[in-house]
Amino acid sequence: MIFSDKSKMLTITKENERIVLFVVFSLFTTVFCLISFVNHFQFRTYALDLGMYNQAVHSYSHFKNAVFTLGIDGREVPFLGTHFSLITILYSPLYYLFGSYSLLFIQIAAILLGGLAIYKYAKEHFEDYSVVPIIITIQFFGIWGIYSALSFDYHDNVLGAMLVPWFVYFLEKRRLITSALLLILILFTKEVMAFWMLFIISGLMIKNRNRNGYRYIRFEIPAAAFCLAYAVMIIGIIMPHIQGSEENLQFIRYSHSGNNAGDAFMSVLRDPQLILRLLFDNTLNDQAYNGIKAEFHTVLLLSGGFCLLLRPAFLVMIIPLYAFKFLSDDYAMWGINYQYSIEFVPIISIAVIDFITGTKHYRTGILLIITLMTFAVNIKTMEGRKSKWYKPENTQFYRKIHYEHDLDLKAIHSAMKIIDKDAVVSASSNLAPHLADRDTLYHFPVVKNADYIVLLTKDVATYPLSSEEYKTIYLEYLKSGRYYALYAKNELLILKKKDQVNR
């Protein structure tokens, strides 16, 4: 038998544990690859954000300064002005190996390593032969936030979130140099991570408050101060400078709370009830967005998030996550879609570990119930959700719809190879990630000085245009005399500027 009952506790031998872990990680690796790689091959990844990141990685891999040219307003800014993701520079050489799939490989690897960190952290809290760490790892891999993130492109905050359990693991073991290196890597993933890490470190100090407080002077207190200083410097000074703006343009999403971070803070001080309204109410005066926030709260609690309520130190860790989501006037951030839930994943599982550790009876049974609930919620939300713009075909790896496509995908991939590598291109959103190996790539309908306009005419993501506007505009370019149809088959249209003919 793989499992046996020893002293009323489900146990497993070390040899069988390795076998089970191999099966678990192999299974979830397969699932994650089926979601992410299939979406990319079938043109279900987009200019924003995989195209943007692919273009940046390509530039860094060629020792060039990365410039964000895919803005829907046609404005071009240095890539670090969009997100201060220094880690992009570190992994850019992988672009030579995996091309446009590189970041998807990195994202999946990061999630798997995050699961390994959860397993190792759990092993520190339970008996050597306990099966609990394996079950907790499975619960971690079943949380909805992972699947929502994988079904929508690539984002550096996924890497940052998956480094957090490693940071907690090594900090709890007082491996301070390793913890410091991990903290720096996390800060390098995205500018807002500094603010989040400030609260994670604070939460850990509260959690371990009964231990010798003197040791906090050696790491936690200076680390927290460094995070605060880093956040203020990057978000408040460096990024606005790069953007050519007085205030960080990311604050546009929080306009109803004020014109900047200071205004938002003062709004909360003047009206504390504002926070409660923003946490639960639809602030857009459109009933179409009712229930999105409630859905998130429900999914969080049923996926093990109720342990956060039982362990208040972990509530401290998610304060900035709630602020980023619900103080925003962008409804896309409120719900369970996209990458906007990934940071909750490691905190939930670490809180579950802490909760189970303090449980004296029926540990395995309670954990199995939490795990089953987590997977039930995940599958239920894959089938349908209130969060807007959810695309089941992007996530439902277990259904035929995920693998079907009306387009001749191989023909389209082959046809795009005729586009010159050094040419300036304007592309539809779901072609952009495959054409990002160039310095200048525009998000159609931005064309500017493009040598090529490359578009799908069917099953295309037309954002920011309607389908009718999209078709009208590309037909105008076709009729303008400035471009001619170099390729027009298989629902792919490649227009080439006429002054390119004699070059």
- Joined together, the tokens standing for residue 353 give 């570990």
- Joined together, the tokens standing for residue 229 give 């200083």
| Cβ–Cβ under 8 Å, residues 58 and 434 | no
**Strands 492-497 and 452-456, sheet pairing:** antiparallel
pLDDT bin (cut points 50, 70, 90) of residue 97 is very high
| Average pLDDT of the chain, as a whole number | 92
Mean pLDDT, residues 53-60 taken together: 97
Mean pLDDT, residues 472-501 taken together: 90
Q: What pLDDT is recorded for position 250?
A: 73
Say what percent of the chain tops pLDDT 90: 78
Locus of tokens 């672009």: 95
- DSSP state letter for 266: H
Q: What pLDDT is recorded for position 2?
A: 46
- Kindly report, residue by residue over 104-147, the tens digit of the pLDDT: 999 999 999 999 999 999 999 998 889 999 999 999 999 999 99
Q: What pLDDT is recorded for position 214?
A: 81
- Kindly report, residue by residue over 363-372, the tens digit of the pLDDT: 899 999 999 9
- Joined together, the tokens standing for residue 392 give 């089941």
Q: What pLDDT is recorded for position 263?
A: 65
Of 475, 487, 466, give the one whose Cα is nearest residue 408: 487
Report the alpha-carbon distance of residue 181 to residue 187 in Å, rounded. Answer: 10
The β-bridge partners of 440 are none
Report the alpha-carbon distance of residue 169 to residue 480 in Å, rounded. Answer: 61
Mean pLDDT, residues 275-286 taken together: 85
More confident residue, 390 or 211: 390
Q: What pLDDT is recorded for position 306?
A: 97
Of 286, 301, 371, 370, give the one whose Cα is nearest residue 336: 301
Q: Is pLDDT above 80 for 247?
A: no
Report the first-to-last Cα separation within the chain, whole angstroms.
Answer: 72
DSSP codes joined into one string, 147-206: HHHHTS---HHHHHHHHHHHHHHHHHTT-HHHHHHHHHHHHHH-TTHHHHHHHHHHHHHH
Locus of tokens 């005399």: 481
Maximum C-alpha span of the chain: 83
Q: Is pLDDT above 60 for 260?
A: no
Mean pLDDT, residues 309-313 taken together: 93
DSSP codes joined into one string, 75-133: --EEGGGT---THHHHHGGGHHHHGGGHHHHHHHHHHHHHHHHHHHHHHTTS-TTBSHH
**pTM summary value:** 0.94
C-alpha distances in Å from residue 209, one per residue of 38, 165, 364, 385, 406: 47, 19, 28, 40, 59
Q: Is pLDDT above 80 for 254?
A: no
Q: What pLDDT is recorded for position 7?
A: 40
Q: What pLDDT is recorded for position 215?
A: 86
pLDDT bin (cut points 50, 70, 90) of residue 274 is confident
Q: Which helix (H) or strand (E) holds 57?
A: helix 52-61
Q: Is pLDDT above 60 for 502?
A: no
Locus of tokens 């499975």: 138
DSSP codes joined into one string, 193-204: HHHHHHHHHHHH
- The SS3 call for residue 137 is helix
Q: Is pLDDT above 90 for 209?
A: no
Q: Which helix (H) or strand (E) holds 21?
A: helix 14-41
Indicate the residue type of 251. F
Q: What pLDDT is recorded for position 47?
A: 96
The β-bridge partners of 489 are 492
**31-41 as b/e, with b when 16 or more CB fall inside 10 Å?**
bbeebbebbbb
